[in-house]
Chains A and B, each alone.
Chain A
Amino acid sequence: MGTLRIVHYLNQFFAGVGGEKHANVAPERRHGAAGPGVPMQKALGEAAEIVATVYCGDDYFNVNGEAAIARIVELIAAEAPAVVVTGPAFASGRYGMACAAVGQAVEERLGIPAVTAMATDNPAVELYRRSLCIIPTGESVATTGEIVERMARIALKRGRGEPLGRPDDEGYLSRGIRQNVIVPQPAAVRVVDLVLRKVRGEPYTTEIPLPDVDPLVPAPPLRDLKTATIALVTSGGVVPRGNPDRIEARRASRWSKFSIAGLDDLSSRDFECIHGGFDNELVAADPDRVLPVDVMRELEREGSIGRLHEYCYATVGAGGPIERARRFGRDISAELLAAGVQAVIMTAT
């Protein structure tokens, strides 16, 4: 096996060019290792050589986006490396984004594997963890020694085309992807093992960790109901007859927006329920059971609320992923806010 060729990407600071004042330096390449690449080369020994270091100012990268990436990729390609290492970026947001973007570009455009490293709460992690091999670091550059050793070890494997071990064993961030595998023991045995561990007070590990829910800053409550515009939203799958927005019966990939202007209630003649996750006959018979237009219209007429928003939003919630639901929520809120809506009543089956 010949010596593996590695190119290392750094920002201007770690490349030794200068600090914040030099953050707008354009992409450059120099021979051999620099900055953290020097201890990394020691860790690599004879097995690999950092043939070049490509660096770019964080501001330059931030401002020039695609142009910067293209130039960096060009500089890297000319060295024909077997693997590209970027960072470690630690907690630096701009640098982290640059490291991740360069890593992904190199994989997609050159087909060369990439390895990067940054702190787990670096904003780049959430965007790139699924597609990139990211080694988690702490906040402090004091851990550089240990980090570059790990980067070296993983880079060698990736450069040689060797499969990586499990994230926890190998030392990189789980990509948040779960794959079906065959294990030696059936689920029935594993679940009895698990309950016994719990009862005995022994440490135990669940096979499906529950998601972390970030703290929510709730909206201020509605001040004046009598002047408020309120919108109705549902994941119960009530849409205009014919389903013009083609919402799927389960795990809908989009939402439907439709007008209820001039309507005093929703009739089964003009609306239907396309939700495939439950017996939807009763909702189909009277869609107000899921989108209470009849009652809201009454309240509007009486002056108890300011206005019922003229558009309803509907999707189907059966078995959809969290990220998609979040995206729907963001997109629909943007429209509602732009239209002057002040509160939302949502229904789900």
Chain B
Amino acid sequence: MVREMEGAGLPTVFFSSIPAIPLAFGATRILPGRAIRYVLGDPSLPLDRERHVRRRMVEAALQALGQPCPRPTLLSLPA
């Protein structure tokens, strides 16, 4: 899906908990989700800390949108 969006002119970032999948199917900017059951979350943390984790992941995504990405690439999240 996201490959078509990229092709239509919209830069995309794809959070996937199984990066092998978008890598095979051709999404460009791929960021690892945390787990299948909570892509951008962490239920082991209290809500404000979980939100902080989520925010840092989204910020990494927004940063990546500003970078060119010619090939499917698994990007890493900041530590």
Q: Name which residue of chain A comes closest to B13, CB basis.
A: A345
A78 to B66, CA, bound (A): 63
Summed over the interface, the residue pairs from A and B with CB atoms below 8 Å come to a total of 172
Taken residue by residue from 60 to 72, chain B's Cβ proximity to chain A (1 for < 8 Å, 0 otherwise) reads as 0110011111100
Q: Contact between B39 and A348 (Cβ–Cβ < 8 Å)?
A: yes
Q: Name which residue of chain A comes closest to B52, CB basis.
A: A295
- B:1-23 near A, CB below 8 Å: 1-17, 21-22
| Segment touching B, from A9-17, A43-51, A110-118, A328-336 | A328-336
A225 to B38, CA, bound (A): 26
A342 to B69, CA, bound (A): 16
How near does chain B come to A169, taking the closest CB pair, in angstroms?
30
Taken residue by residue from 204 to 222, chain A's Cβ proximity to chain B (1 for < 8 Å, 0 otherwise) reads as 0000000001001111111
Q: Contact between B3 and A329 (Cβ–Cβ < 8 Å)?
A: yes
Are A221 and B17 also in contact (CB < 8 A) when A282-B38, A326-B4 are? no
A294 to B52, CA, bound (A): 11
A3 contacts chain B at the CB level, 8 A cutoff: no
A305 contacts chain B at the CB level, 8 A cutoff: yes
Chain B residues positioned under 8 Å from A298 (CB to CB): 55
A330 to B9, CA, bound (A): 11
Q: Contact between B25 and A322 (Cβ–Cβ < 8 Å)?
A: yes
Q: Contact between A219 and B12 (Cβ–Cβ < 8 Å)?
A: yes
Chain A residues positioned under 8 Å from B66 (CB to CB): 221-223, 225
Chain B residues positioned under 8 Å from A289 (CB to CB): 38-41, 54
How near does chain A come to B22, taking the closest CB pair, in angstroms?
7
Q: Contact between A288 and B54 (Cβ–Cβ < 8 Å)?
A: yes
Chain A residues positioned under 8 Å from B57 (CB to CB): 292
A286 to B28, CA, bound (A): 28
- Give the interface size class of chain B: 35 or more
A67 contacts chain B at the CB level, 8 A cutoff: no
Chain B residues positioned under 8 Å from A278 (CB to CB): 36-37
How near does chain A come to B25, taking the closest CB pair, in angstroms?
7
- Give the interface size class of chain A: 35 or more
Taken residue by residue from 311 to 349, chain A's Cβ proximity to chain B (1 for < 8 Å, 0 otherwise) reads as 000010100001001101110111011000111111111
A304 to B10, CA, bound (A): 19
Taken residue by residue from 114 to 136, chain A's Cβ proximity to chain B (1 for < 8 Å, 0 otherwise) reads as 00000000000000000000000
Chain B residues positioned under 8 Å from A290 (CB to CB): 38-40
How near does chain B come to A170, taking the closest CB pair, in angstroms?
32
Instruction: Say which residue of A219, A286, A326 sits within 8 Å of B11 (CB atoms).
Output: A219
A130 to B28, CA, bound (A): 30
Taken residue by residue from 17 to 59, chain B's Cβ proximity to chain A (1 for < 8 Å, 0 otherwise) reads as 1000110011110000100111111010001000100110111
Could you pull out 27 A-B pairs where Cβ atoms are within 8 angstroms? A213-B26, A216-B26, A216-B28, A218-B7, A218-B68, A219-B12, A220-B68, A279-B37, A285-B43, A288-B51, A288-B54, A289-B40, A292-B54, A295-B55, A304-B59, A325-B1, A329-B2, A329-B3, A332-B1, A332-B5, A333-B10, A343-B11, A345-B65, A346-B14, A347-B40, A348-B14, A349-B36
Interface residues of B (CB under 8 A from A): 1-17, 21-22, 25-28, 33, 36-41, 43, 47, 51, 54-55, 57-59, 61-62, 65-70
Interface residues of A (CB under 8 A from B): 213, 216-223, 225, 228, 230, 233, 235-236, 278-283, 285-286, 288-290, 292, 294-296, 298-299, 304-305, 315, 317, 322, 325-326, 328-330, 332-334, 336-337, 341-349
